[in-house]
Amino acid sequence: MTNFSVDFVSPVEYENLAAEVSYAGQLLCRIRTERPDFELELEYFFDFRLPVVPLVIPFAEFMELVSEVAEEVRALRQG
């Protein structure tokens, strides 16, 4: 997973830490757990660069990484 990176962030509008997932320097999504029921949410980011260049990522690696990071985000909230 060398092209993926994860940054844990603390946006001022959130009460809990979130994690941002990037691929090859392009921010893809943020995983957060702000709901009272601890349900995870995935916020996608779109970069409208000109010219438009499709971003193709390895699906299995992305899903594995998101699953691992989601558990870390949930654990951070639970303490």
Write down the pTM of the prediction. 0.86
| pLDDT computed for residue 2 by the predictor | 74
Q: What is the pLDDT along the chain (79 residues), one digit of tens a residue?
A: 579 999 999 999 999 999 999 998 888 999 999 999 989 999 998 766 667 777 889 999 999 999 999 999 999 998 7
Rounded Cα distance, 28 and 32, in Å: 13
Q: Which residues contact residue 51 at a Cβ distance below 8 angstroms, ignoring those fewer than 6 apart?
A: none
Instruction: Give pLDDT, residue 32.
Output: 95
Delimit the domains of the chain by residue range.
4-78
Residue 1 makes CB contacts below 8 A (sequence gap 6+) with 61, 64, 65
Find all residues with CB under 8 Å of 42, minimum gap 6, and list them. 29, 30, 31, 66
